Amino acid sequence: ATVAGLASLRDLDYLHAIVATLKAERRRLSALLATIPYLLPVPSEANFVLCHVEGRDAQHVKRALEQQGILVRHYKKPGLDNCIRISVGRPEQTDRLVEALRSL
């Protein structure tokens, strides 16, 4: 990871392109998550989107996604206990995730 990080710093154009791609996919992911009636995505500047799960158990949502081979995080901490954290991935991963969330 360190070698890859140092190499990317040598090619700033590539690094900027990757960052722009990540930001665009994060915006798309957030917009799509906002269309899921039981999710409330929190605005994000990170490589993930935190969603409050409304009217459903977040742990159940996490487990249902796992059964479809999709991994998200669930925290058992005050204020985050009914939230899931979704990492920004490739567009095809976003599409698969959203399809799975809609089927729950």
Model pLDDT for residues 27-76, shown as the tens digit of each residue: 999 999 999 999 999 999 999 999 999 999 999 999 999 999 999 999 88
pLDDT of residue 36: 99
Residue 83 φ/ψ region, left for φ over 0, alpha for ψ in the -120 to 50 degree band, beta for the rest:
beta
Assign 41 to helix, strand or coil: strand
Say which residue, 85 or 12, is predicted with more confidence: 85
Q: Could you tell me the pLDDT band of residue 8, with boundaries at 50, 70 and 90?
A: low
Higher-scoring residue by pLDDT: 39, 78: 39
What domains sit in the chain, N to C, each tagged with a CATH number?
2-103 (3.90.1150.10)
Record the pTM: 0.87
State the pLDDT at residue 76: 83
Give the Cα separation of 30 and 83 in Å (integer). 14
Strand segments (E) across 1-104: 39-41, 48-53, 73-74, 83-87
